[in-house]
Structure 1
Amino acid sequence: MYKLLIADDEARIRKGLRNSINWTELNIEIVGEAEDGEIALKLVKELKPHIIMLDICMPFLNGLELIKKLKNVNEKCIIIIVTGYDQFEYMHEALKLKVFDYILKPVNRENLKDTILKAVQELSKIERKRNYLNWTSRQVDENLNSLRQVFFNNWFKDKLEYKDIIDELKFLKIKFSDHIGMISIKVVEKFKFELYFKNWDRELLNFAIINIACDLLEKFKPEAVFIDENNNIIIFTNICSGSRWYNLGIELEEKVYSYLGYIVVTEQEKVLSGINEVKDIYNKLVDKINEKTQCKPVVLLTMKYINKNYHVNDLNLQSVADQFNVSSSYLSKLIKQEIGISFSDYITNIRIKKAICFMEDPKMKIYEVAESVGYSNQHYFCKAFKKVIGVSPTEYRGGSI
């Protein structure tokens, strides 16, 4: 039943309103009466009525003042003014406050019933709308992943304008902070018959990989996941620690292989320039992933080994070749052929990339950064850094580029 509160300083008016019609027949219960505005305000807070009938002229807190306060307490309640002809001058201000309706004193029973019926119809309409919104909200929640898939697919295929993207992000409850990173993951199909522990359905496999990734990324609060038509898994996540975040790819590759028996490759990038940069980064990540998956198995395994062991000071071509039982000359030739740069240049690039992550921590000294990425000599590290980046580590950290 709908709850009704009557507020009037005259007891006979309150009694007349209470006894004038059969309220139960209208699905209404009178839950309280108030003889002044302050009591009325207190009862509204306690009882949360759906309908309030109030007189404009009441002691302590008049009707107009009460209406203003009610907007902050229960703005959705229906307010009906009960007023005499001599108070009608106040009605203009009351209407500006968006009261539902008014009834003139002395109260006519039929007018009262008609007004209350209109109020009940309005409440019923509000309830239907609320139920519909709740239903649509549940539908969105239940189908959120599917809706997000469609959204990202349209976004990355240039089917959405900027305003549409912003609206969709809000609708799909995706919050992109100023520190967002993107991680791409893809299964290396060429290892299918060699290393799979068992055959998985592709949808189930993607689901399992995403679960492992989200568990690993828990502290970074993953915001959204997208699987494109080529089974590239893209995860959007917050970044609270650059160096820790950039090591997640290696951890993720190891965990997926350990739990599922599948070899995956990963790529990561930060989003530095906001929403407009996301699509370009997606394309960049997919290109890098595709390049990796096209490499011969021994080259791919070499890259993964270097990515994991870049911090080892004496990491060299021969030691890596020994890991995979191939000659150093053969491995050197394959790496140059497959990824376009030499073994030593690849190691240097990986180390400098990792060094940049460590340098985000202002507490780390340059020599500590050098040691963390496999250089025992700071001078040699600075020389390698300048060769790759174009400026020294000190200049880079000082914001000169």
Structure 2
Amino acid sequence: MYKVLIVEDESIIRKGLSYKVNWLENNCFVVGNAADGKDGLIKIKELKPDIVITDIRMPFKDGIQMLEESLHIYDYEAIIISGYSEFDYARQAISLGVNEYLLKPIDFSKLNQVICKLILKIEVKDKANVHEESLGVYSELLNVDFYERDINRSKLVFDILTYIQSNFSRKITLNDLSEQYSLSTVYLNNKFKEETNYTINDFLNRYRILKAIEMLKRDDMLIYEIAELVGFQNYKYFSQVFKKYVGASPTLFIGSLG
């Protein structure tokens, strides 16, 4: 749910914004309120709201000052409330990237429209962030392709790397590798981690997710089909592992690709 902070010095307006709006309908809730810009700034730092609704003229610190000192740091969406006499003053907020403002008395149907608009904006921004983070993880996962090229790699670890790359779509267990190389699972895992910084299972999962990302980018297969092709028989478990390494579910990752 999205967190909303209300900053307004008039008690009746503050209460109206808190209780006359069906916040749950828009997947929001009022996380807090403040009676002036100084307290509002403190609440923004503490509560990290997604949306801040603020008056302009308030004691101690006005709404514009509060926005100037916090918007670029905490990255929230803002709605300005102003009276007709403050309309030109409200235009200062445009330079801060705030394009949503409401005139008093507040039209709650208009407020609802603005809230819906900002939620869509937040969702688009979240998807963009997921995509950016995913690209970073993707680059990290790509590093697994270079591990077998290290001239100092032992033949044992080189063989395991090659085996994983050739058989990642099949079931691979430590016990299977133990029998194949006639070595204990503990020794295999320790030796592998010593030379790659990863356990065998961690490397295997990273490699599988790397291959899954490549397939997801082609957009010609269903997610459960990709899960099976990269060695996961359980779709739910595949989603859990994917989210662990990429930071988003496969579905959200696809959405972030636009």
Which is bigger in relative contact order (C-alpha 8 A, separation at least 6)?
2
Answering whether residue 14 of structure 2 is matched by residue 71 of structure 1, we say no
1:106 aligned partner: 105
- The reply to whether residue 37 of structure 1 matches residue 37 of structure 2 is yes
Match of 1:260 in 2: none
Does structure 2 retain, via aligned residues, the 8 Å contact 1:5–1:31?
yes
The aligned counterpart of 2:50 is: 50
Partner of 1:237: none
Offset, 1:133: 1.4
> Residues 45 and 73 of structure 1 are in contact (CA less than 8 Å); yes or no, is this contact kept in structure 2?
no
**1:175-254 correspondence runs (5 A):** 206-207=149-150, 209=152
| Structure with larger Rg | 1
AA aligned opposite 1:34? A
CA contact 1:78–1:100 (8 Å) conserved in 2 = no
Check the 8 A contact 2:4/2:29 in 1, yes or no.
yes
Match of residue 253 from structure 2: none
Deviation of 1:210 after TM superposition, in Å, equals 5.3
Q: Which residue of 1 aligns with 2:11?
A: 11
Aligned to 2:81: 82
Q: Any idea what SS the aligned residue of 2:41 has? A: helix
- Distance in 2 of aligned mates of 1:46 and 1:57: 22
- For residues 139 and 73 of structure 1, what CA distance do their matches in structure 2 show? 27
Per the alignment, residue 121 of structure 2 pairs with 122
Q: Please give the alpha-carbon distance, in whole angstroms, between the structure 2 residues aligned to 1:92 and 1:50.
A: 22
Which has a greater percent of helix? Answer: 2
Q: Does 1:97 align with 2:84?
A: no
Work out the CA distance in 2 between the residues paired with 1:139 and 1:23.
Answer: 37
Cα distance, 1:145 vs structure 2: 5.7
Q: 1:138 matched to which residue of 2?
A: 137
2:32 is the alignment partner of 1:2: no
The answer to whether the 8 A contact 1:56-1:62 is kept is: yes
Aligned 8 A contact 2:93 2:99 in 1: no
* Contact 2:82 2:104 survives alignment (8 Å): yes
Q: Deviations over 1:159-195 (max 9, x none)?
A: xxxxxxxxxxxxxxxxxxxxxxxxxxxxxxxxxxxxx
Q: CA offsets per residue over residues 106-164 of structure 1, 9 Å max, x none?
A: 11111000000001101111111111112222111101365xx7xxxxxxxxxxxxxxx
Distance (whole Å) between structure 1 residues aligned to residue 139 and residue 130 of structure 2: 14
**What SS class does the counterpart of residue 105 from structure 2 fall into?**
coil
Identical amino acids, percent of aligned pairs? 32
Distance (Å, rounded) in 2 between the aligned partners of 1:73 and 1:133: 19
Runs of at least 4 residues of structure 1 off by over 4 A?
Answer: none
Letter matched to residue 152 of structure 2: I
Aligned to 2:256: none
Distance (Å, rounded) in 2 between the aligned partners of 1:133 and 1:49: 22
Q: Cα deviation per residue 1:205-241 (whole Å; 9 max; x = unaligned)?
A: x435158xxxxxxxxxxxxxxxxxxxxxxxxxxxxxx
Deviation per CA, 1:19-39: give whole Å up to 9, x if none: 222101111110100000110
1:39-68 superposed Cα distances (whole Å, 9 cap, x missing partner)? 000011100001000001010000111111
- AA aligned to 1:42 is I
Conserved? CA contact 2:8–2:54, under 8 Å: yes
- CA drift of 1:4 comes to 0.5
CA distance change for structure 1 residues 2 and 100 in 2, over 3 Å: closer, same or farther? Answer: farther
2: distance between equivalents of 1:88 and 1:109? 19
CA–CA separation in structure 1 for the residues paired with 2:142 and 2:73? 35
Contact 2:31–2:47 (Cα < 8 Å) also in 1: yes
Where do 1:257-272 residues align within 5 Å? none
CA separation of 1:145/1:100 partners in 2, compared to 1, >3 Å: closer, same or farther? farther
C-alpha deviation, 1:92, in angstroms: 2.0
CA contact (8 A) 1:9 1:58 kept: yes
Question: Partners in 2 of 1:73 and 1:19 — Cα distance?
Answer: 29
Secondary structure (helix, strand or coil) at the match of 2:88 reads: helix
Shift of 1:104: 1.0
8 Å Cα contact 2:5-2:49 kept in structure 1: yes
Contact 2:6 2:53 in 1 (8 A): yes
Matches of 2:73 and 2:133 in 1, distance apart?
A: 22
What is the SS of the residue equivalent to 2:150?
Answer: helix
1:28 aligns with 28
Q: How many residues align?
A: 155
Can you give the 5+ residue segments of structure 2 that lack an aligned partner in the other structure?
Answer: 155-258
State the distance in 2 between where 1:73 and 1:42 align.
13
Q: Distance in 2 between matches of 1:118 and 1:17?
A: 17
* One-letter amino acid matched to 2:43: L
